[in-house]
Amino acid sequence: MTPTIYGMFEPNTGSWQYVIADTATMMAAIVDPVLDYDPVTQTLTDRAANSLVIFIKELGLRVDKILETHIPEDHVSAAPYLQRWFACDQGYIPPIYLSRRVKEHLNAVKPNEKPCREEYRGSCLKFLTDEETFNIGELEVVAVPLQGHSPHHLGYKIGDNVLCGDTVLHPDIGTARGDLPGGNAHELFESFFREGASL
């Protein structure tokens, strides 16, 4: 099966968000949704997340799951917000998928050091082991480890595509960062070439 992948750019945070759709079943997954952050007023809004909702509803897709490549240090996730929205709309909760390595990373850090993690409190989470496979409708997805930008980073491999989060960034926006908490530039380099070479 060939996935249909839509990319949506959020300019305030410089973030790419994706919707992966299986047109045979009309099931979909959202990847790395963000809340808009205005650095001048230091406020968050749900404008980009609501645009995703409208886009998905217009296509007639049902959101089966929400995939996070990592818990972001460089933007704020909209996954919990969208989980609540689609749970009410669809009558079932699309779990938020994360690497199992998130648990180790978060346990190693004092709770008050990373306030953005609070956004996940009370959410329905599903933790993936490296190389675990799962489905979006009839599409098979593999969770591939891509440490470097974050220690718990995952890429989502679907056919010939790997949605890799901030492991690779568009050259007009900036290169991938290895200097955030838990990041490692050497691991980032190895992840990029290991996964790139496998395609």
- At closest approach, how far in Å is the CB of 57 from Zn ion? 27
Query: Which stretches does DSSP call E strand in 125-181?
Result: 125-128, 133-136, 139-145, 154-158, 161-163
Strands 76-77 and 154-158: unpaired
DSSP state of 52: H
Residue 145 binding Zn ion, by CB under 5 A: no
Convert residues 148-177 into a mask of x (bound to Zn ion by CB under 5 A) and - (unbound). ------------------x-----------
Rounded-to-integer distance, Cα 172 and Cα 125, Å: 33
- At closest approach, how far in Å is the CB of 177 from Zn ion? 7
Query: Among 26, 66, 33, 67, which residue's Cα sits nearest to residue 47?
Result: 33
- At closest approach, how far in Å is the CB of 98 from Zn ion? 13
Residue 72 binding Zn ion, by CB under 5 A: yes
- At closest approach, how far in Å is the CB of 44 from Zn ion? 16
Rounded-to-integer distance, Cα 168 and Cα 142, Å: 18
Q: Which of 46, 74, 130, 190 binds Zn ion (CB under 5 A)?
A: 74
**Residues in touch with Zn ion (CB under 5 A):** 72, 74, 166
